[in-house]
Chains A and B, each alone.
Chain A
Amino acid sequence: MTKLEQWLCGLALLGSAWAALALAPPGLQPPAPLRQALLPLPLYLLVAFGCYSLATVGYRLATFNDCEEAAAELQEHIRAARADLRRRGLRL
């Protein structure tokens, strides 16, 4: 199963469960408080996911390491490399 198919299956499952409960005909409706919570649930979940995404990306952006030492070390290595290669006969 591809990831797309997994998503579609998952959404179909959750969607039909939600529809069965939230949009049921008057005879089969769950109690009122449950229905009130159920109806806007998809929207709430979407918004919650949106907030989670923003928070996660924001956090990861803020903690993205800056490799200052690596850059400095590389400069040193480049100098050593050039000198040694010249000694070994490299002509640019």
Chain B
Amino acid sequence: MAARGPGRVSVLLPTYNERDNLPLVVWLLARTFSDSGIDFEIIIIDDGSPDGTQEVAQQLEKIYGSDKILLRPRAKKLGLGTAYIHGMKYATGNFIVIMDADLSHHPKFIPEFLRKQKEGNFDIVSGTRYKGNGGVYGWDLKRKLISRGANFLTQVLLRPGASDLTGSFRLYRKEVLQKLMEQCVSKGYVFQMEMIVRARQLGFTIGEVPISFVDRVYGESKLGGNEIVSFLKGLLTLFATT
């Protein structure tokens, strides 16, 4: 008897002003899934982008079919956490992939996530930049230092059992993500951290796959003091409350 496939994978893509990158990421996703024989759907949650992202999304829907590209936009920028909750309502897959829509995450890792998930029957598979041959392109020494320093701090304070806590390229079993979304309250980087911490608390298992993160926008959007402060505040909150 032939081995069953992993079932359908739902990719949640929250977008804001991704007119240029959206078609590319969708093309890469579609190609990766068809090359690997994986059934999929891509749920695009656009928060009212003023740059025409939604028009591009509509063209993609025509090209790939409305069973593969689901447009579920919102009127304005409402945040990542709520975008996932919103998108999940329409997801029909047993696995949900969350990733960035700006090409920093390459879809080619998704079949590896699925392999890893099957290997250990993991509830969550997290892409890590810090282990194995994971890594980053486009960061200068200062940015890398901040990244490693922040990660060291989270490891010491939270002992999370995962090497990349602020990463946002992950595969979840659908029920697991639903359970976690009910509990997580933070915003931004800290939200991704909180998901992993809560997952561990609830006894969910986490596997890791090294990924490469290609940052093409670092030159324009430097990591500011504000973000560092809010990261520290969020980290201390998680330290004190979980």
Contact = CB atoms under 8 A, between A and B. Distances in A.
Interface of A: 2-4, 53, 56-57, 60-61, 64-68, 70-71, 73-74, 77-78, 81-82, 84-85, 88-92
Query: Chain A binding site: helix, strand, loop or mixed by DSSP?
Result: helix
A2 B137 contact: no
Given A56-B152, A90-B60, A71 B138 contact: yes
B174 interface: no
A44 to B, nearest CB: 19
Contact of B23 (A65, A67, A85): A85
Given A65-B136, A92-B23, 13 more contacts: A3-B159, A4-B239, A64-B135, A65-B212, A66-B135, A70-B214, A71-B137, A73-B106, A74-B106, A74-B214, A78-B24, A84-B27, A88-B63
Contacts of B106: 70, 73-74, 77
Interface of B: 19-20, 23-24, 27-28, 56, 59-60, 62-63, 103, 106, 130, 133-138, 141, 144-145, 147-149, 151-152, 156-159, 212-214, 238-242
Query: Chain B binding site: helix, strand, loop or mixed by DSSP?
Result: helix
Contacts of A4: 239-240
A60 B148 contact: yes
A61 B138 CA distance: 14
A3 B242 CA distance: 6
A32 B59 CA distance: 82
B130 A60 contact: yes
B24 A57 contact: no
Given A3-B158, A78-B24, A90-B59, A70 B148 contact: no
List the 3 shortest-distance A-B pairs measured between CB atoms, nearest first: A65-B135, A70-B212, A67-B212
